[in-house]
Structure 1
Amino acid sequence: MTDASPPPQVQPRNPLHGLTLEAIVTALVDEYGWEGLDARIPLRCFAFEPSIKSSLKFLRKTPWAREKVEGLYLFMLRERRRNAGG
């Protein structure tokens, strides 16, 4: 008997579901720019010769930094919704 892993759960209320880290970083750079991103989350990959590629390399190896980036992305979405409604 083999252990079959359960199918991935559908997460309709999770705004990060289905998004790549690259899409998240790109959206944040479009919204805040590299300087603004570094001001909100001070990381070397955002401050010194920033690029999507170098940022992804660092964030994939650094779970705590990835969590901060994902949190900022969720904050950005909330702010957009708040501003669109008012």
Structure 2
Amino acid sequence: MEKENDLNSAEKQLNNPLHGVRLADILDYLVKKHGWEYLGDRFNFRCFTHDPSVNSSLKFLRKTDWARKKVEDFYVKSIERERRG
């Protein structure tokens, strides 16, 4: 039974586009691809609009689950669009 649960967990991770991707890497990618101004317009988070930095954004996103989810979902959509061409 335990091996079956381990296999299910492993399968879920294989299908998870965020598996193994750090939040800092997500932010770096989004900033390089879209820029702080676009991210600030899209999300209107103070850490994106007022003297933006990766460190301030990491602090905010690690404390604020709903905001982190929005950024992660946007990252996944951006990656999918890029792969499609």
What per-residue deviation string (whole Å, max 9, x for no partner) do you get for residues 20-53 of structure 1?
1111111110110000111221110000000000
Runs of 4+ in 1 over 3 A off after TM superposition: none
TM-score by length of 2: 0.83
Report the number of matched residues: 77
Question: How far does residue 75 in structure 1 lie from its aligned partner after superposition?
Answer: 0.9
1:55 to 32, 54, 57: 57
Q: Which runs of 5+ in 2 are unaligned?
A: none
2:38 is aligned with what amino acid?
G
- Which residue number in structure 1 is paired with residue 77 of structure 2? 75
Q: Which runs of 5+ in 1 are unaligned?
A: 1-5
RMSD: 1.4
- Which residue number in structure 2 is paired with residue 17 of structure 1? 19
- Structure scoring higher RCO (CA < 8 A, sep ≥ 6) equals 1
Amino-acid identity (%): 49
Aligned equivalents of 1:12 and 1:40: distance in 2? 29
Normalized per residue, the structure richer in helix is: 2
